[in-house]
Amino acid sequence: MARPPILEQVPHRPQESFDCEVIDGPDYGTRWHFHPEVQITLAIKSQGYRIVGDSISPLRDGDCVLIGSDVPHVWQQDPSIDRHAVQAVIVRFRRDFLGADWLARPEMDRLNKLLVRARRGLQVTGRTLAEISGRLQALPKLDGLTRIVELLSVLDGLSRSGELKPLASASFRPALEATDQERMGRILRYIEENLVDELSRDDLARVASLSAGAFSRYFKSRMGKSLPEYVNELRTGRACRLLAESDQPVTDIAFDCGYRNLANFNRWFLKLTGHPPRHYRKLMTARR
């Protein structure tokens, strides 16, 4: 998985007013991070999970999300997928990329409201997703004024859409500390490497060089949720993919995702998805 909410320096080339990155490789090459830039991520091809604030969701081909400034996030490719598994377009721009006061113009009112909503992260769905996916894929090939106009057109389409789904909870307010990166990096790396094993608060507290009580407070302040909530959401996200894409027995999937008894797996899966595992599999099979 990713690491901590660290402050990421987004590349900025003098000849470009905003960054547009094409990813084609084994993973996204990032950790759990935040930055002042607004971001649009189109995962053309990707299987794993994404975390936006306190929201953890399975990642599917075609997923598209708009993220506001300083919202912690990461897209994590499942390492069991083949090495060239990720194809994505990531667009990042500062709110002042067209000047200090361009968003103060009356014509920008709808866009300003969109950027406020994006502080929770917004998943693009429905016809809006179909309309902007091709345009985002073409954006890296454009240059000059055409490139800026096309981005503004995409943002205008998003600002007019009723098909944007908030991701992070309305109450999510992370404690963003750029100096945390080494400690949170150790914690989340340990969780990633041991997700299928027993994960105790005491072990993670030792990894973080904190007491057990201090660790619990520290983790929740950075992640917006408790350690059990976070670990079970990761495990459930992995189980969702396996249920949708394989014929493995549910019991085997539960153990492969780190659960030691089926009852605990069923309880967490129902709580986080709203469906029992077998019913979820039937729903996903019907959509293939």
CATH code of 178-287, in short, is 1.10.10.60
Cα(131)–Cα(136) distance, rounded to whole angstroms? 10
Of 105 and 49, more confident: 105
Please state the rounded mean pLDDT for residues 24-43.
87
Q: Quick: pLDDT tens for 230-255.
A: 898 888 888 887 887 788 999 999 99
Cα(149)–Cα(140) distance, rounded to whole angstroms? 13
Q: Beta-strand (E) ranges in the chain? A: 6-7, 19-25, 33-34, 38-45, 48-52, 55-59, 63-67, 73-77, 86-93, 122-124, 164-166
pLDDT number for residue 81: 64
Q: Quick: pLDDT tens for 148-157.
A: 999 999 999 9
CB atoms under 10 Å from CB of 83, counted, come to 9
Asked if 68 and 38 count as a contact pair (C-beta separation under 8 A), the reply is yes
Q: Is the pLDDT confidence value at 1 over 80?
A: no
pTM: 0.67
Pick from 111, 120, 124: nearest CA to 163: 124
Q: Is the pLDDT confidence value at 3 over 70?
A: no
- For residue 191, the one-letter residue type is I
Q: Quick: pLDDT tens for 47-80.
A: 888 888 878 788 889 999 999 988 888 888 877 6
Report the share of the chain in percent with pLDDT over 90: 47
Buried b (16+ CB within 10 A) or exposed e, 124-162: beeebbeebbebbeebeeeeeeebbeebeebbeebbebe
Report the share of the chain in percent with pLDDT over 70: 89
Per-domain boundaries in the chain: 6-166, 178-287
Q: Is the pLDDT confidence value at 2 over 60?
A: no
Residue 206, C-beta contacts closer than 8 angstroms, at least 6 positions apart: none
Q: Is the pLDDT confidence value at 13 over 80?
A: no
Asked if 88 and 44 count as a contact pair (C-beta separation under 8 A), the reply is yes
Please state the rounded mean pLDDT for residues 246-275.
91
pLDDT number for residue 249: 94
Instruction: List the beta bridge partners of residue 286.
Output: none
Alpha-carbon separation of residue 189 from 35, 74, 184, 208 (angstroms): 21, 13, 8, 11
Mean pLDDT score of the chain: 85
Q: Quick: pLDDT tens for 155-214.
A: 999 999 999 999 988 777 665 565 666 787 788 888 888 888 888 999 999 999 999 999
Angle between helix axes 262-273 and 227-245 (nearest 10 degrees) is 90
Please state the rounded mean pLDDT for residues 86-97.
93
Of 288 and 104, more confident: 104
CA angle 115, 7, 110 (to 5 degrees): 5
Please state the rounded mean pLDDT for residues 100-123.
93
Please state the rounded mean pLDDT for residues 111-138.
95
* pLDDT band (50, 70, 90) for residue 223: confident
Q: Enter the DSSP assignment of 31.
A: -
pLDDT number for residue 8: 54
pLDDT number for residue 284: 73
Asked if 233 and 56 count as a contact pair (C-beta separation under 8 A), the reply is yes
Regarding the domain delimited by 6-166, which CATH topology (the fold level of the hierarchy) does it fall under? Jelly Rolls (2.60.120)
Q: Is 56 helix (H, G, I), strand (E, B) or coil?
A: strand
Q: Is 288 helix (H, G, I), strand (E, B) or coil?
A: coil
